[in-house]
């Protein structure tokens, strides 16, 4: 079956621009997560959705970052007024439910480069 997919795979933008990153979770998975991974680091939690609602957005670094999941499936991570420090690989994961031990399955990531 299809895994988690993310588009685009690469995004290059200029400082100050707005970007949207899309995640399609595994069909039937109710929980969806966003992480970002900077070079040489482990992934860093950003936000977690259970259904349509953000259950935990404590990892969003500031109010330039926002994520939505309007129909409980596809999610979009939105970054306003991008900064060079936002350059990273943005990873999306999904899990079957919100049970704490449910495995999180990851997509290939979107590599964002802010010039």
Contacts with another protein by CB under 8 A lie at 4, 31, 33, 35, 40-45, 48, 55-56, 58-59, 91, 93, 98, 100-101, 103-109
Residue 88: how many other CB atoms lie within 10 Å: 20
Least Å from the CB of residue 66 to another protein:
18
Q: Please report how close the Cβ of residue 45 comes to another protein at its closest, in angstroms.
A: 4
Minimum Å gap between C-beta 90 and another protein is: 11
List Cα–Cα distances, 21 to 11, 34, 46, 97, 105, in angstroms: 9, 10, 13, 23, 18
- Round to whole Å and give the CA distance between 41 and 50: 26
CB nearer another protein, residue 16 or residue 61: 61
Angle at the Cα of 94 from the Cα atoms of 78 and 41, rounded to 5 degrees = 70
Q: Is the Cβ of residue 31 or residue 114 nearer to another protein in the bound state?
A: 31
Least spacing, CB of residue 81 vs another protein, in Å: 26
């Amino acid at each position: 079956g299809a895994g988690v997919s993310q588009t685009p795979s690469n995004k290059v933008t200029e400082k100050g621009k707005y970007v949207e990153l899309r995640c399609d979770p595994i069909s039937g998975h109710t929980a969806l997560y966003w992480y970002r991974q900077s070079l040489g680091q482990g992934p860093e939690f950003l936000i977690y959705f259970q259904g349509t609602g953000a259950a935990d957005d404590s990892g969003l670094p500031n109010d330039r970052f926002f994520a939505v999941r309007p129909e409980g499936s596809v999610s979009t991570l939105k970054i306003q007024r991008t900064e060079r420090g936002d350059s990273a690989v943005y990873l999306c994961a999904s899990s079957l439910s919100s049970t704490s031990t449910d495995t999180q399955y990851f997509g290939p990531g979107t590599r964002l480069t802010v010039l």
